[in-house]
Chains A and B, each alone.
Chain A
Amino acid sequence: EAGVAQSPRYKIIEKRQSVAFWCNPISGHATLYWYQQILGQGPKLLIQFQNNGVVDDSQLPKDRFSAERLKGVDSTLKIQPAKLEDSAVYLCASSWAGTGTTNTGELFFGEGSRLTVL
């Protein structure tokens, strides 16, 4: 079974530039998450989708970050304009739970996209 795919693995940009990350979840997984992990810290939930609807985006800096999940499958996370403090690994995860079901807590993570903002 294919895992969660993310691209690019690495990205270096200058501050005020824009960047986009792509995630393809495990086939059949209804729930998709984007986490931001700064070096030395635990992953921070940015946004959670259930199919193509947003469940939680309370920690997403909406003035510069945006995310969408097209047709309830792939997802893109965009940062515009980037700041130095956005340097982090952006992790995408998926789980099987769909609408009306309880998520058991097993998230499957991709390898992440490492962003360096200079």
Chain B
Amino acid sequence: LAKTTQPISMDSYEGQEVNITCSHNNIATNDYITWYQQFPSQGPRFIIQGYKTKVTNEVASLFIPADRKSSTLSLPRVSLSDTAVYYCLVGLYNFNKFYFGSGTKLNVKP
């Protein structure tokens, strides 16, 4: 299994762009990279997924370098409501298994 490493926590201010990097040195050829967001007392929620290069949706962007050994979740102009824990997953997608790491606790300040 590809283990992921993320910063334990990050602080930001409203309106700033936030970049959270995840390291996954042992990622397999068929693995996709998926990010989830979790608010207190709620289950995780899917944010974005990618395989290589860049993916963008209405919520975030995901940057993946050519070697795929890391990925960066970019949240544009964060607000207080983006305060949450963000998880990076690299799963055995061919076998449909998803393991969460410890996540990054993002604290957005006014």
CB atoms of A42 and B103 under 8 A apart: yes
B72-108 vs A, Cβ < 8 Å mask (1 yes, 0 no): 0000000000000101010101111111111100000
Contact of B96 among A91, A97, A109, A111 (CB under 8 A): A97
What number of residue pairs across chains A and B have CB atoms under 8 A from each other?
68
Known: A104-B93, A105-B91, A109-B45. A45 touches B98 (CB 8 A): yes
Residues of A within 8 A of B32 (CB): 104-105
Flag if B98 contacts A107 (CB, 8 Å): yes
B41 is an interface residue with CB less than 8 A from chain A: yes
Closest chain B residue to A3, Cβ basis:
B43
Could you tell me the distance in whole angstroms from the C-beta of B4 to the nearest C-beta in chain A? 10
The answer to whether A42 and B98 have CB atoms under 8 Å apart is: no
Distance of B100 from chain A, by nearest CB (Å): 4
Kindly supply a per-residue 1/0 record for chain B positions 14-55, scoring 1 wherever the CB is within 8 Å of any chain A CB and 0 otherwise: 000000000000000000101010000111111001000000
- A50 contacts across to B, CB distance below 8 A: 96
In the assembled complex, which residues on chain A have CB atoms less than 8 Å from the CB atom of B87? Answer: 42
Q: How far is the CA of A2 from the CA of B6 in the complex (A)?
A: 33
Which residues of chain A have C-beta atoms less than 8 A from B36's C-beta? 107
Q: Which of A42, A106, A108, A112 contacts B49 (CB 8 A)?
A: A106
Contact B97 A105 (CB under 8 A): no
Chain B residues with a Cβ under 8 A of chain A: 32, 34, 36, 41-46, 49, 85, 87, 89, 91, 93-103
Interface residues of chain A, those whose CB is within 8 Å of chain B, are: 4, 31, 33, 35, 41-45, 48, 50, 55-56, 91, 93, 95, 97, 102-112
